[in-house]
């Protein structure tokens, strides 16, 4: 458990933390809308639509980890699936996107479901 | 238990072209308009005179010294602390030292503080006026139409919300009227604005409401009605109670520990 003193010895720059999480939120809200388009065209209803959303957004986060985080975080001595090099908490990284994109997902899901199934 | 038959309602496909797309387009365009209106209406921060600036900056100086004392050596921290505490307690940095100890002026009578309130009012107006207009526009032109079906089931409680203006008792709550499409757009268009206008846009009402929850610290600190003398005295006390240590304490040991032979 890092103490206040450890943070003073190796400080965390607030701007970088904000930038990192903002990049992730951008990606997640954009992809959530696109998943809504997909779910609408496939004609998914009720639980299947939400399941589709959860699986797809977890997959997106996983790809984000593999492509952007892992290449620099594993050589620096972190374990696999450890995001602490760039993000404060693992929960924020792995599940934060689910809520961020939900409204956009429902919007495009409803729109395309309505357009396709009329 | 008998299976409830799925309700189907045959709707004119023209509904999409004359209701759905206009509402969506108007929502997106108002968002873009609001973004640019906020940029245009933003007033440049007012130029402060020298005395006010000195008052604010010296208080910020004290706060930074308190916040990052660990990067200063003991001697230089003590020098800064003594200088700042003396100046704070004697009131050397005050804007008008002779008014020390009096009650702060009424914030409503001060013209400079009225300006800040006007800015807030303008932002509020930029949010409220378009919303009211669009709501009444939709109510006037599009009320009473059922345009879409939600892809997920809802309980009966949502019926009055989603089917406002459609007084049909047995209709499944999944069917929604044009006003509920407006609400869906209201909440869900943030990602579209992110894509169109960049991340820190002012288009979404949601984001603006978030900002209002936590007012920025700077405005609050030097806001009207705050007595700077009291702030100085409090800051002097804060500085006095700091128990100083440096990050360089024991650095040799840490360095030796980090070397693996």
Which residues, other chains included, contact A1 with Cβ-Cβ below 8 Å and sequence gap of 6+? none
Least confident of B46-50, B105-109, B175-179, B195-199: B105-109
Using CA atoms, how far apart are residues B34 and B203, in angstroms rounded to an integer? 5
Q: What is the pLDDT of residues A1-19, one digit of tens each?
A: 456 677 777 777 778 888 8
Number of folded domains that form chain B? 1
| A33 touches B: beta carbon within 8 Å | yes
Domain with B87 in it: 14-66+75-91+108-259
Using CA atoms, how far apart are residues B17 and B153, in angstroms rounded to an integer? 25
Q: Specify the pLDDT at position B217.
A: 45
Write the ipTM. 0.74
Q: Is residue B46 part of a domain?
A: yes
Rounded to the nearest 5 degrees, what angle is found at the Cα of A64, between the Cα atoms of A62 and A67? 110
Q: Specify the pLDDT at position A85.
A: 75
Q: Is residue B62 part of a domain?
A: yes
Low pLDDT (below 70) residues in chain A: 1-4, 118
Classify residue B23 by burial, with Cβ atoms within 10 Å: 0-12, 13-18, 19+.
buried
- Model confidence at B258, in pLDDT bands (50, 70, 90)? confident
Contact A22 B190 (CB under 8 A): no
| A106 touches B: beta carbon within 8 Å | yes
Using CA atoms, how far apart are residues B239 and B20, in angstroms rounded to an integer? 61
Using CA atoms, how far apart are residues B98 and B116, in angstroms rounded to an integer? 26
Distance from CA of B16 to the nearest CA of A (A): 8
Question: Mean of the pLDDT values across residues B222-239?
Answer: 77
Q: Which residue of B has its CA nearest to A48?
A: B152
Phi-psi region of B195 (alpha: psi -120 to 50; beta: other; left: phi over 0): alpha
Q: Is residue B4 part of a domain?
A: no
What ranges do the domains of chain A cover?
13-71+80-117
Q: Specify the pLDDT at position A1.
A: 46
Classify residue B206 by burial, with Cβ atoms within 10 Å: 0-12, 13-18, 19+.
middle
From A11, A12, A28, select the one nearest A99 (Cα to Cα). Answer: A28
Q: What is the pLDDT of residues A75-85, one digit of tens each?
A: 777 777 777 77
Report the C-alpha dihedral over residues A28, A102, B133, B124, rounded to 10 degrees. -70
In this complex, which of B181, B188, B199 lies closest to A104 when CB atoms are compared?
Answer: B188
Residues of chain B in contact with residue A115, where contact means CB-CB under 8 angstroms, are: 16
Q: Is residue B99 part of a domain?
A: no
Contact B151 A44 (CB under 8 A): yes
Q: What is the pLDDT of residues B18-30, one digit of tens each?
A: 888 888 898 888 8
Using CA atoms, how far apart are residues B77 and B50, in angstroms rounded to an integer? 27
Classify residue B1 by burial, with Cβ atoms within 10 Å: 0-12, 13-18, 19+.
exposed
Q: Specify the pLDDT at position B216.
A: 44
Instruction: Work out the mean pLDDT of chain B and round it to a whole number.
Output: 76
Q: Is residue B215 part of a domain?
A: yes
């Amino acid at each position: 458990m890092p103490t206040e003193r450890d943070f003073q010895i190796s400080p965390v720059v607030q701007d970088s933390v904000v930038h990192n999480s903002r990049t992730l939120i951008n990606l997640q809200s954009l992809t959530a809308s696109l998943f809504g388009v997909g779910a609408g065209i496939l004609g998914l209803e009720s639980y299947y639509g939400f399941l589709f959303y959860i699986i797809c957004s977890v997959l997106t986060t996983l790809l984000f980890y593999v492509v952007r985080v892992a290449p620099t975080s594993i050589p620096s001595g972190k374990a696999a699936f450890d995001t602490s090099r760039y993000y404060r908490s693992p929960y924020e990284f792995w599940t934060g996107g689910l809520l961020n994109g939900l409204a956009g997902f429902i919007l495009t899901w409803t729109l395309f479901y309505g357009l396709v199934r009329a | 238990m008998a299976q409830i038959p799925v309700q189907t309602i045959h709707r004119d496909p023209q509904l999409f072209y004359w209701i759905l797309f206009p509402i969506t387009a108007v929502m997106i365009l108002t968002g873009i308009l609001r973004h640019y209106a906020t940029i245009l209406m933003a007033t440049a921060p007012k130029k402060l005179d020298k005395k006010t600036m000195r008052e604010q900056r010296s208080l910020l100086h004290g706060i930074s010294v308190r916040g990052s004392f660990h990067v200063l050596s003991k001697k230089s921290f003590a020098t800064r602390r003594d200088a700042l505490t003396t100046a704070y307690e004697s009131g050397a940095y005050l804007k008008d030292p002779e008014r020390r100890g009096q009650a702060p002026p009424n914030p409503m009578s001060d013209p400079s503080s009225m300006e800040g309130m006007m800015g807030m009012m303008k932002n509020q107006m930029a949010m409220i006026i378009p919303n009211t207009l669009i709501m009444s526009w939709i109510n006037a032109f599009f009320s009473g139409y059922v345009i879409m079906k939600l892809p997920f089931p809802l309980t009966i409680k949502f019926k009055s919300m989603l089917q406002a203006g459609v007084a049909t008792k047995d209709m499944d709550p999944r069917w929604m009227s044009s006003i509920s499409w407006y609400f869906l757009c209201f909440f869900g268009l943030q990602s579209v604005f992110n894509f169109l206008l960049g991340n820190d846009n002012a288009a979404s009402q949601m984001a603006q409401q978030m900002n209002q929850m936590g007012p920025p610290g700077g405005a609050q600190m030097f806001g009207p009605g705050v007595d700077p003398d009291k702030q100085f005295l409090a800051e002097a006390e804060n500085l006095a109670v700091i128990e100083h240590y440096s990050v360089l304490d024991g650095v040799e040991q840490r360095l030796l520990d980090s070397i693996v032979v």
